[in-house]
Amino acid sequence: MPDSTANRRLATILVADVDGYSRLMRADEEGTLVDLRAHLAELVAPVVERFHGRIVKTVGDGVLIEFGSAIEAVRSAVELQRGMVERNAGTPPDRRQAFRIGLHLGDIIVSDDDVFGDTVNVASRLEGLAEPGSIVLSASVYEQVRDKLALPFRSQGSRALKNIDRPIQVYSLDAAALSQDGVRPPRMKMPVRRLIVAGAAIALALAIGEGLVYVVDRGLLGSTMATRPPAESGLSVAVLMFTNQSGDAAQDYFSDGLTEDITRALGRFKELTVISYNAVLPFRNKELPLAEIGGALKARYLVSGSVRRMGQRVRVTVQLSDAMNGTQLWSEQYDDELSDIFAVQERIARRVAGTLASSLQQIALQQALRKPTDNLDAYDMLLRARALSADPTRNANRMAREMLERVTQMAPGYADAYAELADIYFQRATFGWSEFAQQDVETAIRLSQKALEIDPDCVLAHSVLARAYTSVLKYDLGLAESERALQLNPSDAEVMLARAAVLLWTGRIDESIATAEAAMRLNVSIGPEASLNLGLAYLLARRYGDAVRLLEAQRTRYPAYPLLELPLAAAYAELGRGTDAQEAVEQARLKNPHFDIASFGSRFQDPALQRRVEESLRKAGVN
């Protein structure tokens, strides 16, 4: 047992043992022991050392390993399982050994080079849940690696573990996903994923598994939903291998890596069914009709592109095509500096994914709106409600709310329906269409939480919660929810706008502006609430010209929205445009006959910001 002077530290614990070890020992005691020792010496020890772990101890057929990094721990686990598959090749079936691996992150007690504590116990119990050749990890590990490792994690829900007094959220990596050739390409053909600069030399270093691809085939609706499969939504898309037009084959790693990053980023949009990177690899450099490629990949839409390096700049051209008829639907060109090549790769991938997703969602909406209203299922009805919610009027809000109520009745396991309905209630409260605004905000929070009970990764639910919590002055909760949404999908413009809103009300004005402007680069059609927030941020940053340009355009786009004239009038006043300010104030009074200047901006965490907005409004003639 540890003594009173034992040290504590945070660590990721990996526990592995051999499945069916007792059976193997009964059949061939000496041979089994020899094989196990060989696996430990020739595979386990080198892999653990490579990923900076420490073998704490081996007990019988089991090994306990400590890592300072959750990422390195998972990488090590994946390499161990892959290594065992390779080592078992050619071995008679009755002699093959397979590891089961469990991982947990938490506080440990270290004494005499041994480790103790709840973290070790949980890791051991998780190992017991693992199937041969698979990996089971707790949520504490998953949250650290989910956005950093391209691995096909699967949620196994909350599990009760023996002698652990609380349920543990569990995720797994199954043996098939880790070993099949369809998931892992040949090592020598994988794109390089990192550069390490040492002096004047540049060494190419492979990430775990040389870039294990992210197989994306997510259901469009909740797992308990009994409506049509996602492929029937028509939003199936494949990202074809980008071509390297730099004239230097050594630059293939960049175009390959960009293809993989865009595939992964698109996979975070749950409305899309994204074909895996590996499935696309066989079509590299093949001149085939788009219809043939789309048919082979079962993808309705195809993304293609090229990369060209020009000195210290890179240009990426991207096209979106309809595979059924070969029509190009959208194209865009991106230019960037090559100061940090992988930062550029990630930045472009996010921008491409965000704009592509917006275009594909608009296509889905147009398809749904062309269908007769008496022949709608839950997904199409949700799309129609979403279109109505973009119209900032009381009547459209009511119609969208009624539609979404029907969707939740038709498909009670559809998380996005509850999240969309929460958004509608929040709009009704904040746009001034409710006599019981506080009650509507509480309803929005309750519906968002319901969505997260169905799908903890529902991005929209986290985004609505971020805005709703902030509106009731629960700033820490709002920030946490906006951060969670951004972790789930950093390419989603709506997620970024929700984050910008929280940053605005918590007083982080410059960050709010930068985030909102980044969102507008992905989707220029931001809604009236986001426009109001950005207009206020410009006003507080004393960027009055930017506020006027934005708010004039958005006032024309959303003439019924009741609040845009207010920050516009304030910006006019600060620029000395008294006549324009007076006209904007008159329009604001028509839309807001009971406007109370003392309550406008009361959501700011810092009262000084509210006072600054109030001063500008008074300059414009609001009293």
Residues of the chain with CATH 3.30.70.1230: 7-179
pLDDT at residue 588 is higher than 70: yes
Q: How many CB atoms lie within 10 A of CB 258?
A: 26
Which is nearest to 61 in space by CA: 33, 94, 27?
A: 33
Burial of 370 (0-12, 13-18, 19+ CB in 10 A): exposed
User: Mean pLDDT across the stretch 311-329?
Assistant: 81
pTM beyond 0.75: the answer is: no
CATH 3.30.70.1150 fits 371-482, yes or no: no
- CA 284/CA 306 separation, integer angstroms: 12
Question: 256 vs 335, 336, 338, CA distance in Å?
Answer: 18, 17, 17
| Segment 359-393, tens digit of pLDDT | 666 666 565 555 544 445 777 788 778 777 877 78
- In 191-235, the DSSP E strands lie at 194-198, 201-205
Structural element, H or E, at residue 34: helix 29-39
Q: Please give the pLDDT value at position 609.
A: 94
Residues of the chain with CATH 1.25.40.10: 371-482, 501-623
- CA 141/CA 454 separation, integer angstroms: 21
Structure-block tokens of residue 440: 């509507």
User: Quick one: fold of 501-623?
Assistant: 1.25.40
Q: What is the CATH number of domain 7-179?
A: 3.30.70.1230
Q: Please give the pLDDT value at position 6.
A: 59
**245 residue type, one letter:** Q
Question: 237 vs 177, 274, 293, 339, CA distance in Å?
Answer: 21, 5, 11, 31
> pLDDT band at residue 184, thresholds of 50, 70 and 90?
very low
467-483 as b/e: b if 16+ CB within 10 A? bbbbbeeebebbbbbbe
> pLDDT band at residue 228, thresholds of 50, 70 and 90?
very low
Burial of 449 (0-12, 13-18, 19+ CB in 10 A): middle
Q: What is the CATH number of domain 187-369?
A: 3.40.50.10610
Q: Please give the pLDDT value at position 222.
A: 32
90: left (phi over 0), alpha (psi -120 to 50) or beta: left
| Segment 495-519, tens digit of pLDDT | 889 999 999 999 999 999 999 998 8
- CA 57/CA 103 separation, integer angstroms: 16
Q: Which residue has the higher pLDDT, 229 or 562?
A: 562
Which is nearest to 423 in space by CA: 381, 459, 475?
A: 459
pLDDT at residue 202 is higher than 60: no
| Segment 457-468, tens digit of pLDDT | 888 999 999 999
Residues of the chain with CATH 3.40.50.10610: 187-369
Burial of 411 (0-12, 13-18, 19+ CB in 10 A): buried
Q: Please measure the distance between the N-terminal and C-terminal CA atoms of the chain and give it in whole angstroms.
A: 72
Q: Please give the pLDDT value at position 207.
A: 26
Backbone φ and ψ of 74, nearest 5° = -70, -40
- CA 121/CA 117 separation, integer angstroms: 7
Q: Please give the pLDDT value at position 229.
A: 31
Q: Please give the pLDDT value at position 341.
A: 62
Q: Which residue has the higher pLDDT, 381 or 541?
A: 541
Q: Which residue has the higher pLDDT, 559 or 421?
A: 421
| Segment 13-70, tens digit of pLDDT | 999 999 888 888 888 888 888 888 888 888 898 889 888 889 988 877 889 999 988 9
pLDDT at residue 192 is higher than 80: no
Q: How many CB atoms lie within 10 A of CB 423?
A: 27
Q: Which of 204-213, 273-282, 309-318, 609-618 has the lowest mean pLDDT?
A: 204-213
Pairing of strands 301-310, 236-239: parallel
- CA 308/CA 250 separation, integer angstroms: 13
587 three-state secondary structure: helix
